[in-house]
Amino acid sequence: MPRKIVAANWKMNNDEYSSKKLTFDFLKYISESNNTKVLKILSVPFPFLNTVTKMCEGVDSVFVSAQNSSDYSEGAYTGEVSAKMLSSISVPFSLVGHSERREIFGESDDIVFAKTRLLLENNITPIFCCGEPINIRKDNTHLSFVEEQLNLSVFKLKSSEFKKIIIAYEPVWAIGTGETASENDISEMHRHIRSLIKSKYSSSLSNDISILYGGSLKPENAKQIFDIKNVDGGLIGGASLNAKDFIDIVNSIN
């Protein structure tokens, strides 16, 4: 059975003080009601990984994630942060292939796959992001588009590797726009991804992989979305910058 997961993505927001305060406020709410059946992940900017990790030590089911890592293992790549570096400070998760990395920084499926392999080699769980832009959705080719993203990256993994990843489906047109995919849209894509995993690997593996939804998730719509079959949690952007909103989303999972 897939693990229930709610992951925050702070993106490039907050300085050190604000990051500490946001973490403190979140942990305060956790201390009042911590559903340990739900894995809570905080994807924070590189400079604050150690700080937030130390603040979360000893808190059940709360972990820290990087937002990105390099597709190079080491070398003269100024400004890059490698999976090996993240592993050395015990970072257990990292986002990979987020639409903003693909669109703004031109990351191809090959680059996303290289990053995924390096994360796995360094015992870091990749949270693999996939999703279609608005023109693909309007052309009604969204299912084949996401299938191609999977085929050109994580579906190249052996089953022993693939079982270690988390998938996050984020329709690009619903990220930070206030637009949310309909229940039918979400259900269709999550069902499609799970069926693709079954065809590529096995029924048992398909049934064990967590598939998250992301895209303007907020307290008002979280329960409705989390109740959709094949949705195992969420990747939360803007709403995760408010501790009360984020804990309300976490507590929306049954």
Positions annotated as catalytic residues are: 98, 170
Q: Is the CA virtual torsion 77, 83, 87, 92 positive or negative?
A: positive
Euclidean distance between CA atoms 40 and 4, whole angstroms: 9
Euclidean distance between CA atoms 21 and 24, whole angstroms: 5
Q: Is the CA virtual torsion 155, 3, 26, 54 positive or negative?
A: negative
Residue pair 61/38 in contact (Cβ under 8 Å)? The answer is yes
Euclidean distance between CA atoms 97 and 247, whole angstroms: 25
Strand (E) or helix (H) holding 7? strand 4-9
Euclidean distance between CA atoms 146 and 170, whole angstroms: 10
If one counts every other C-beta atom within 10 angstroms of the C-beta of residue 199, the result is: 11
